[in-house]
Every structure is written in C-alpha cells, then in structure tokens.
C-alpha cells in the first residue's frame, strides 16, 4: 500500500499559535532590552556604558533577526495551510462528483 500523507489543520493551527506566542515573547524581550538601554543611559556615561550599550544593541539586532525569521516561518505556515485547505476542498468536491464522498472511499482525509 502506498504511503499517504494527510493534512492536519489542528497541527498547523497549533504551529501558527506557537509562532504568535513566540512573537509576543520577542516583543517582551525587545521591551526588556529597551528598558535596560534607558537605565544604562541614565546611570552610565563612561566607557563601560558604551560597551554595555553596544552589547544591548547587538542583542536587539539578534532579536530583530529572530523576529524576521519567525515572520517568514509564520507566513509560510499560513500559505501552506491555505494551499492544503484549498486542495482538500477541491478533492472533496471531485469525490462528491464521482460518488466517492458518500462511499467512504476518499482515502486522502
């Protein structure tokens, strides 16, 4: 028997939800870094402050890269979900036209 792969919308929805939660956590991380940067501006004016600020800037840049990559993944999951949903609907429509939908022989679901 051939190996079949079925689309599981609940898994895709869970992944998109997880990506959303990660975006929320990234926003919290950005806020934490911004707060640290503000405190640093108020407390340190010497060389050590510049070094810490450079470190925070590097962390912020890393957070931005992670955010961009996460957005790409999230967009890809949404597109894949839409493609899979459209394909599933088309398959069911064709199955209904040829009489497979009521016979229980539609093996792709």
16's enclosing H/E stretch is: helix 9-43
Instruction: Please state which CATH number belongs to domain 10-85.
Output: 1.10.287.1060
Report how far Cα 9 is from the mean position of its chain's Cα atoms: 15
The pLDDT tens digits of the residues spanning 52-83 come to 888 999 999 999 999 999 989 888 888 887 88
Token pair, residue 101, equals 């939908």
- Cα 78 to Cα 84: distance, rounded to the nearest angstrom: 10
Comparing 31 with 48, the larger pLDDT belongs to: 31
Give, in degrees to the nearest 5, the angle at Cα 79 between 73 and 80: 85
- Cα 73 to Cα 25: distance, rounded to the nearest angstrom: 16
């Amino acid at each position: 028997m051939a190996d079949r792969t079925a689309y599981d919308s609940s898994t895709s929805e869970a992944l998109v939800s997880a990506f959303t939660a990660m975006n929320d956590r990234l926003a919290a991380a950005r806020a934490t870094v911004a707060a640290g940067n503000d405190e640093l501006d108020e407390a340190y004016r010497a060389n050590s402050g510049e070094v810490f600020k450079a470190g925070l800037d590097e962390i912020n840049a890393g957070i931005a890269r992670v955010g961009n990559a996460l957005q790409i993944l999230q967009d890809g999951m949404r597109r894949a979900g839409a493609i899979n949903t459209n394909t599933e609907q088309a398959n069911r429509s064709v199955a209904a036209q040829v009489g497979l939908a009521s016979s229980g022989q539609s093996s792709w679901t």
